[in-house]
């Protein structure tokens, strides 16, 4: 699924490892989401959106399927 995770993360200056730790998943999972190879579960999508202080719709584009 298309998303803004990489843009939001780099804008905040965080590493994939830091984002992974904050959301309770592996760094590889964050990498897969950023590369649009893996669509996260709803709880993880909400956790990512909360981390970036955005709405889920602002982080993930459900219409622009990867």
Partner 1 sequence: MQMARRRWWANKWYVPAFALVLGIVLWVAQWVGGNPRSGAEMFAIMVGAGLIFLLGGRSETIRGLRGDGRDERFAALDLKATAFAGMVVITCVIAGFVVELARGEDGNPYALLGAAGGIAYVIAVLVLRFRS
Per CB under 8 A, contacts with partner 1 among 5-44 are 23-26, 28-29, 32, 38, 40-41, 43-44
Closest alpha carbon to 60 in 3, 12, 15: 3
Contact between 56 and partner 1 by CB under 8 A: the answer reads no
Using CB under 8 A, count the residues that bind partner 1: 15
Query: Residue 56 burial (CB < 10 Å; 0-12/13-18/19+)?
Result: middle
Catalog residues that contact partner 1 under the rule CB under 8 A: 23-26, 28-29, 32, 38, 40-41, 43-44, 46-47, 50
């Amino acid at each position: 699924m298309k998303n803004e995770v990489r843009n939001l993360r780099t804008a905040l200056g965080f590493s994939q490892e830091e984002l992974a730790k904050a959301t309770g998943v592996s760094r590889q999972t964050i990498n897969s989401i950023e590369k649009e190879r893996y669509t996260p579960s709803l709880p993880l999508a909400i956790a990512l959106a909360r981390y970036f202080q955005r709405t889920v719709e602002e982080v993930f584009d459900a219409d622009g399927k990867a």
